[in-house]
Amino acid sequence: MGIVDLNDVKKNYALGKVTVEAVKGVSFSIEKGDFISIAGASGSGKTTILNMIGLIDTPSSGEILLDGQPVSQLKDRELTRLRHQVIGFIFQSFNLIPVLTAQENIEFPLLLGKNPRITKEHRDYIDFLIGEVGLGDRRKNRPNELSGGQRQRVAIARALVTKPQIVLADEPTANLDSATGEAIIQLMKKINQDLATTFIFSTHDFKIVDIADHLIRLKDGQVIENRRTEGK
């Protein structure tokens, strides 16, 4: 039993009168601490799978288990709580809150819990994360004052601030130049090793796939390759 298990998961979308099968009975397991890449061409179903693992979309059939717990029957409130406590998100378009500074964006998930206070311990951890992602001098800047790479670094720190077990990154390098993209992936890898956080990222860029230590390759909504690699 892994930290994430997918058992015969299918996802259909209604597109007008046509039903599109985005994911066709996918099963795999992700171990705690994995740095896993879900790779595939555009339309292969990788974002859909990531959304279902991230509890922001539900399977049409099959079962997803997070840390052994089935999630298909959970209500919205419980799913939201699980997303907050267990999962961190890194989005392709960064999705920072435009009215908050870099530091406030990083703090934001801490304000969504039952006890929305920033403690000394939190502050220290935020300082640590800002240092880790290399944004020490940009913490007071708003997103529109940051470059794409800096925004994604803020997003990474934000995804980690609640110390989640899993971080999901949907094509985190898609809107970055190749050098910045590689630096971001290397940063994620470093944090994965330093904090033992499970990273699941989707990509269609096979140059960065090699960095992953677990590769799941998709084609037309089906797994065509599922293997552990050495990881660079």
Partner 1 sequence: MASVIRIAWRNLAQHRSKTILVGILITLAIGLDVVGNSILASAQESLKKTFTDNFTGNVLICPQGIRGGIFGASNGGNGNGPPILPMMKDYEKVYATVKTQPGISSLTSQISAYVMFNLGGGGLNFGLAFGVDPQSYFKTFNNVDILQGHRLASGETGIMLHEKVIQTLEKENDVHLKVGDHVQLNNFGEAGFKIRDVPIVGIFRFKAGNERSFPFMQPNFVDVNTLRALQGKPILTPADLKFDTQQKAALDISDADFFSGSTVTGVGSTQTKTVSLSSLDNILGPKTAKADPASTQNGAWNYILLKLNPGVATAPFILHLNQIFQKEKLPVKAQDWVDSAQPDSGIFMAISFIFNIVIWVLSIVSIIIIMNTLIAAVMERTAEIGTMRALGAQKSFIRNLFILETVTVSVLAGALGLILGFFLLILLQVTGITAPNDFMKLIFGGAKLYPHLSGGPLLTALIMLAVISLVSWIFPVLMALKVSPLKAIQSD
Binding footprint of partner 1 on the chain (CB under 8 A): 47, 51, 54, 56-57, 76-77, 80-81, 83-85, 89, 91-93, 95, 97-100, 104, 108-109, 111-113, 116, 158, 162, 170-171, 174
29 or 95: whose CB is closer to partner 1?
95
Contact 118, 107 (CB under 8 A): yes
Q: Is 220 helix (H, G, I), strand (E, B) or coil?
A: coil
How far apart are CB 231 and partner 1 at their closest, in Å?
26
Least distance between partner 1 and beta carbon 197 (Å): 16
Q: Report the distance separating Cα 224 and Cα 188, nearest Å.
A: 25
Considering beta carbons, is residue 160 or 213 the nearer one to partner 1? 160
Give SS3 for 74. Answer: coil
What minimum distance in Å lies between the beta carbon of 116 and partner 1? 6
CB of 95 to partner 1, least distance (A): 4
Contact 129, 157 (CB under 8 A): yes
Alpha-carbon distance of 59 to 195, in angstroms, equals: 30
User: How big is the CA angle at 172 (ends 83 and 134), to the nearest 5 degrees?
Assistant: 95
- Nearer of residues 89 and 201 to partner 1, judged by Cβ: 89
d(CA 101, CA 150): 12
Smallest distance from the beta carbon of 213 to partner 1, in angstroms? 25
Q: How many helices (H) and strands (E) does the chain have?
A: 7, 10
Least distance between partner 1 and beta carbon 115 (Å): 12
Considering beta carbons, is residue 76 or 121 the nearer one to partner 1? 76
Q: For residue 12, how many other CB atoms are within 10 A of its CB?
A: 15
Q: Which is nearer to partner 1, 13 or 210 (CB)?
A: 13
Residue 81 burial class via C-beta count within 10 angstroms: exposed 0-12, middle 13-18, buried 19 and up = middle
- Distance (Å, rounded) from C-alpha 152 to C-alpha 138? 13
What's the chain's Rg over C-alpha atoms? 17
Nearer to partner 1, 100 or 195 (CB): 100
